[in-house]
């Protein structure tokens, strides 16, 4: 079984908290961490943009990535939200067991 870290950004803390709580409540992630302020520079509509954003890090199972992405896109205010799945190659076996248990509805 594979595990991933979902890297996501949101425009503000309220939206990040709503997304994070929903992912955990729906068992699409075992845990979501919110880092309250990051500075982002990116291309959008032909210009370099600079914004403050909030970073979300969600721990989940590989097979839940697609439904998690779909859920985030439904809730997100951005036209093209950043949602990246980063493979977890290794980790504390006890934590990975807990992650599996908290995201396994079957």
The closest alpha carbon to 52, from 8, 12, 17, belongs to 12
Burial 38-71 (b: 16+ CB within 10 A, else e): eeeeeeeeeeeeeeebbbbbbbbbeebbeebbeb
Instruction: Give the CATH number for residue 15.
Output: 3.30.70.120
**pTM of this prediction?**
0.94
The CA distance from 48 to 30, in Å, is 35
- Number of structural domains, the chain? 1
What's the domain range around 86?
Answer: 3-103
Dump pLDDT digits (tens) for 36-74: 999 999 999 999 999 999 999 999 999 999 999 999 999
Helix (H, G, I), strand (E, B) or coil at 42: strand
């Amino acid at each position: 079984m594979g595990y991933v870290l979902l890297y996501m950004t949101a425009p503000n803390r309220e939206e990040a908290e709503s997304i994070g709580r929903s992912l955990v409540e729906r068992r699409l992630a075992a845990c979501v961490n919110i880092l309250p302020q990051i500075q982002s520079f990116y291309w959008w509509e032909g210009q370099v943009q600079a914004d403050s954003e909030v970073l979300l890090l969600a721990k989940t199972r590989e097979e839940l990535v697609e439904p998690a992405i779909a859920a985030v896109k439904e809730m997100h205010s951005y036209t093209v939200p950043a949602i990246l799945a980063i493979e977890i190659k290794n980790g504390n076996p006890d934590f990975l067991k807990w992650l599996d248990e908290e995201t396994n509805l079957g």
